[in-house]
Structure 1
């Protein structure tokens, strides 16, 4: 266990190797600033828990590749916005799709089942 109150050190690169487990505990806030690239490799599983809000901002593109299944579970509502288009799903089963122009296309068939269907 290492406890540091305040440390100022000069130098260029730093490499840390831990032979087994590592645990870091911060009593208050933590800020990480990386001036260039950051890379993370996890050899097995990764878990994350945020008790409050979680905000992520990507100023350019974001790509996510999932090797098998992808599940997103939301308690109240999920909204996806792109320009003037909005897709919103609510916990009561309501799905709203709003857009300037909506097209349906299928190579085989489109099937809809409902007690009533209204267009116009």
Structure 2
């Protein structure tokens, strides 16, 4: 069991912490990594986020194709630090990875999958 003293407060879990430490916003440094994460919401609900796609892609068209392909809802979120992030309902990590590789958007070795 984890023991915590009064002056040590555990930090909350940040699913984007790895990307900020590794490359500070995947697409901004030019290294080209695409991060695919899953976040647990409540109960069985989860959220898949795709971060680090190149800026020249039309995120809304990619989102439209993803939603149609996987029968789920989604949205493009504008974040001040991370840029544009695609969010999809459900755990779609494997589906999104396969889709991005087959569509020729990203090479398989440039995708990093995070999650539980």
TM over 0.5: no
Q: Relative to total residues, which structure has the larger helix share, 1 or 2?
A: 2
Higher relative contact order (CA 8 A, sep 6+): 2
Q: Relative to total residues, which structure has the larger strand share, 1 or 2?
A: 2
TM-score, normalising length: structure 1: 0.22
TM-score, normalising length: structure 2: 0.22
